[in-house]
Amino acid sequence: MNKKITVLPGDGIGPEVVQSAIEVLNSVAKHYNHEFEYTYAKLGGVAIDEENTPLPEETVRLCKQSDGVLLGAVGGPKWDTLPGHMRPEKGLLGIRKELNLFANLRPVTAHESLTGSSTLKSEVINGVDLMIVRELTGGLYFGEPSERRQVNGEEAALDTMIYSRSEIERIMRQGFELAKVRRQKVTSVDKANVLESSRLWREVAIEVGKDYPDIELEHMLVDNAAMQLIRNPKQFDVVVTENMFGDILSDEASMLTGSLGMLPSASIGSGGPGLYEPIHGSAPDIAGQNKANPLATIASTAMMLKYSFGMVEEADLIDAAISKVLNDGHRTGDISNPGEATLSTTEMTAKVLEAIEELQAVKN
């Protein structure tokens, strides 16, 4: 297969981890006779410096023309004092909007050999394998009005939580489709005891669920979900929720595994290219030092292969290679225990490439 990938390295450690991910993609392409064609474009701080905007039109054009977009990270102290519309994060929000990406998928998988780096007990963490599906373009973050006004003679502020049936339906459907190829369970998270928008959410979840009779649908209030994620995260398979609840729960869930450097994400829409990125930021404190953990970005490419290109076997190979290097005891600084040897970004990448060769050799 021949696929066009737009690459947005971004700022800080972005270019370092993206380079690692591309080396891994190239290795997979070689083994499976695929051709990946990369086009580089600017987003975030680097685009502000060179083009005076966080999201150049050329970047939007190239992303729209591609089969998938791979992003490193954006931002850093250099751009922190710029006005809102010129901040690197505006570039990220802008490209998600331009590509109409309404679903954010964050898998959280506990690697047994890493449970020591979680703040939770290993018996709670071992075996966790869940996927948070967050609605990305509606709800409180986009609802209008969102403004300050005078109420009873004093300043007040107002945001609007609004969801239409079709917005809820498409994200629930996404969740059910994912559950079909996982463990057949969807947990729909809402606050239906208080919010009208949540009562509509629950109604639509039940309606969509009728199209998926083999999949168990449970409803959970968001406060309980926050508690259950820490108490017993193994109970979850696919968790589907609205924008703000998902924002909070996905960060909470990401800490189950102990390190930001391990977690990939995918943002997908209807039909167009998806955007694949690690959940961590640009880590300015270690940028340019060859210290970043590249595994989250490498795992993000596995999601691109699976969800945008339908290359499931290839994606599984990358995930298996990541598990192998961790089980073999290889660590970057962020996931090592005191006294343990640590690998650089390039050394860790080399270990993943070696693991791919070894796994392929066993298969053949």
Q: Which residues are catalytic?
A: 141, 191, 223, 247, 251
Quick one: 184 or 290, whose CB is closer to ligand NAD?
290
Position among 22, 25, 70, 92 found at the interface with ligand NAD (CB under 6 A): 92
42 is a contact residue toward ligand NAD (CB under 6 A): no
What x-and-dash track marks residues 332-351 binding ligand NAD by CB under 6 A?
A: --x-----------------
Contacts of 199-206 with C-beta under 8 Å, sequence gap 24+, read: 200/163, 200/165, 200/168, 201/163, 201/168, 201/242, 204/165, 204/168, 204/169, 204/172, 205/168, 205/172, 205/240
Shortest Å, Cβ 260 to ligand NAD? 5
Position among 9, 76, 138, 139 found at the interface with ligand NAD (CB under 6 A): 76
User: Could you tell me which residues come within 8 angstroms of residue 146 by beta carbon, excluding any fewer than 6 positions away?
Assistant: 158, 159, 160
Residue type, 203: E
Do 104 and 136 touch, CB atoms closer than 8 A?
A: yes
Position among 171, 172, 286, 356 found at the interface with ligand NAD (CB under 6 A): 286
Shortest Å, Cβ 279 to ligand NAD? 7
The tokens describing 139, both together, are 């709800």
Instruction: Give the β-pairing of 238-241 and 68-73.
Output: unpaired
16 is a contact residue toward ligand NAD (CB under 6 A): no
Q: Helices 222-231 & 243-254, crossing angle to 10 degrees?
A: 10
Position among 9, 68, 75, 274 found at the interface with ligand NAD (CB under 6 A): 75
Shortest Å, Cβ 331 to ligand NAD? 11
Residues found near ligand NAD in the complex (CB under 6 A): 13, 17, 73-76, 89, 92, 260-261, 277, 280-286, 292-293, 296, 334
